[in-house]
A and B are shown apart, each in its own frame.
Chain A
Amino acid sequence: MIEVRDICFTYPNGIEALKGVSLTIRNGEFLAIMGENGAGKTTLVKHFNGLLKPTEGSVLVDGVETRKVSVATLARKVGFVFQNPDNQLFSETVEEEVAFALKNFGFEENVIERRVTWALNLLDLAQYRKTSPFMLSGGERKRVALASVLAWNPKILMLDEPTIGQDYQQKEKLRQFILQMKAQRKTTIIVTHDVEFVAECNPRVVLMRDGRIVADGEAQKILTDPEILIEASIVPPQIAQIFLQLSELGLPKDVIDVYEARKILLNVSERNE
């Protein structure tokens, strides 16, 4: 569980990135942090694994205050995949890259071997095991970065813009994987601009603007509320847009799911026949 208690954060150059944020994330929750560029999303998640320490207030991860432990200690529990994979890839082979963190955490040799194989298979990277990560395409490098964090099986997984540069199939896999995490009562936190992806997953959404949380709740509620979305400069998902436009026909406004939309539209057409 992550408890954020009224934190403020100011960067050394004087930019106030967080201006009083409080938030509780329970185990097994799937949370999407959304908001326009510069809203403070990445700054906020960097507090969850101790990379940043709040200027005011406190962050507790499973009851432990992040100020009191090292990033490496917290990282064992909280895995964070950065937005740009090029910020971390350095090994000669994909395999070594994925094993890097496991070695840092002192896993045994045979465990490392097993976990690397598991992570590479999970992300469709097994055929690149002995390839240099620098030879891979952008999307593949991103998956290597993800594999290198998944490998140690952290309790809380944070992904910064995980869907950028991924084709539909990979996005769908990511979604399946997050659902799996949820089933294992593991927490997943994503920072994203991808409203369509969020609409498909229907997580809890935390909407940020200018260093503050402006809305917190189910994706279905938040992504269909025009006022909140305008405030946070977010365009609703396409299905929600259609239903917002069709609301004059007496249809519900809060629809983001394809199957639900289909059901409603079929009902309407039956009624008209």
Chain B
Amino acid sequence: MSVFDGLKFRKVYSPIHNLDPRIKFVYVSAIFVAAIIFWELIPLTILFLIQVPFVILAGVKREWLRSMRGAMFLAIIIFLTNFIFRFISAGYVVIGSDLEYAFAMTLRFVVLVESFSVFFLTTSPDHLGLALEQTRIPYEFCFAFTTAVRFVPVLAEEAQTIMDAQKARGLELESGNFLKRIRNYIPILIPLIVSAIRRSLELAEAMESRAWGATKNRTNLYVLRMHRGDLVLIAITAGILATAIYIRLFFGIPSLNELLGGLV
């Protein structure tokens, strides 16, 4: 569940938390685009490092590290698949550039997780809903979205209880071969899904009995306004994106391997 922990919002105040969520989202999308257009190790490393100051400024280092640790498993799989395929197509020899490529692909994934983690760690579900609403997305969708985000920790907790209940009936999650282990999770997943559906129906009924959707034109107590910090972030975002596209189009990016004069 550590991946979820890395996305769980905790109320603290920092310059990053106070930024307009819409701008933060644009920033995350820009990082996303930049990470996709590069497949070399050096620019991806830079993209990774650019975000570290944000994490420190927001004071969410611990949670962020936890989400990074949670992403480790997938990262290793990405590294291995990339490396093994390159290794096979290169004719079963380890080539420095292949190793570098596999590293770069892994880092690309890490950069994506990193930016989303920073976004979710510093944006409260309420803020997020507000941002969606004020971008004129129908309220029903905004509500569905914020509810989904809000219920992630609840589901994580429930998954733990279900695991306990099944263990108490003699289920051993860590036993058997690979396929058996996957099958072991069926008794966990089904109750989890069923109760999520049941809960959503109950929530719908509870909300309707409290006159949800009675007024057509909703107004908000809080209205999002841009501040100086937001403008700075827009500038940074535009800078990163423009630089990334410019470099991609007009420069050949040397690989680390070439810079070091070829290791293998």
Contact = CB atoms under 8 A, between A and B. Distances in A.
Interface of A: 46, 49, 51, 70-72, 75-76, 79-80, 82, 84, 86-90, 100-101, 104-105, 134, 148-149, 152
Interface size class on chain B is 10 to 19
Interface of B: 158, 161-162, 164-172, 186-187, 190-191, 194-195, 198
A122 to B, nearest CB: 17
A101 B170 contact: yes
Given A82-B165, A87-B158, A72 B195 contact: no
Contacts of A70: 172
Nearest to B175: A72
Contacts of A84: 161
B189 to A, nearest CB: 8
A51 B168 contact: yes
Contacts of B158: 87
A46 B164 contact: yes
B186 A90 contact: yes
Given A86-B194, A86-B195, A87-B191, A72 B164 contact: no
Contact of A104 (B165, B171, B191, B198): B171
B194 A80 contact: no
Nearest to A51: B164
A153 B168 CA distance: 13
Contact of A51 (B167, B172, B194, B198): B167
Contacts of A152: 170
A148 B187 CA distance: 14
Given A86-B194, A87-B158, A87-B161, A75 B167 contact: yes
Given A46-B164, A87-B162, A100-B187, A134 B170 contact: no
- Most chain A CB atoms below 10 A, which of B162, B167, B186, B198: B167
Contacts of B167: 51, 71-72, 75
Nearest to A151: B169
6 contacts: A72-B171, A75-B169, A86-B194, A87-B162, A100-B187, A101-B170
A82 B168 CA distance: 9
B169 A86 contact: no
Contacts of A104: 169-172
B165 A105 contact: no
A100 B186 CA distance: 12
B161 A82 contact: yes
A82 B170 CA distance: 14
A67 to B, nearest CB: 15
A86 B165 CA distance: 10
Given A46-B164, A51-B164, A86 B170 contact: no
Nearest to B168: A80
B187 A90 contact: yes
Contact of A100 (B161, B164, B169, B195): B169
Contacts of B165: 82, 87-88
A75 B170 contact: yes
Nearest to B158: A87
Contacts of A101: 169-170
Nearest to A81: B168
A49 B165 CA distance: 11
A110 B191 CA distance: 28
